Amino acid sequence: KAGVTQTPRYLIKTRGQQVTLSCSPISGHRSVSWYQQTPGQGLQFLFEYFSETQRNKGNFPGRFSGRQFSNSRSEMNVSTLELGDSALYLCASTGQDFNEKLFFGSGTQLSVL
């Protein structure tokens, strides 16, 4: 089974621009979550989607948004980029039994200059 795939692997943007990151979950997984990892801050929850519906949202500004498609693929968008948005963005998918474990992709490293 293929793992969670995130594209692109690296991105460099400038302040004020917007960016879209993509995530393809493991086949059959319907729940997709997004996390932001910054140095020394651990992983912070952005949002979770299930069957195209956002079920849960973390404490991030409205500049961070996401969506999920009917094939469970997900995208997240960050508008009006700020320097502090530089981070590793991780996508994770899980099956029905959410509690068991998340399967993470390798992430998209975003650098905002």
Interface residues with another protein (CB under 8 A) are 4, 31, 33, 35, 40-45, 48, 50, 55-56, 58, 90, 92, 98-107
- One-letter amino acid for residue 43 of the chain: L
Given the complex with another protein, which of 94 and 112 has the nearer CB atom? 94
Given the complex with another protein, which of 70 and 100 has the nearer CB atom? 100
Cβ at position 13, least distance to another protein in Å: 20
User: Is the dihedral angle over the CA atoms 51, 21, 46, 82 positive or is it negative?
Assistant: negative
Burial 40-53 (b: 16+ CB within 10 A, else e): eeeeeebbbbbeee
**41, 7, 26, 29: which is closest to 110 by C-alpha?**
7
Given the complex with another protein, which of 17 and 86 has the nearer CB atom? 86
Q: Element (H or E) spanning 77, and its range? A: strand 74-78
Cβ at position 50, least distance to another protein in Å: 6
Cβ at position 80, least distance to another protein in Å: 26
Given the complex with another protein, which of 17 and 43 has the nearer CB atom? 43
What residue has token string 């943007």?
13
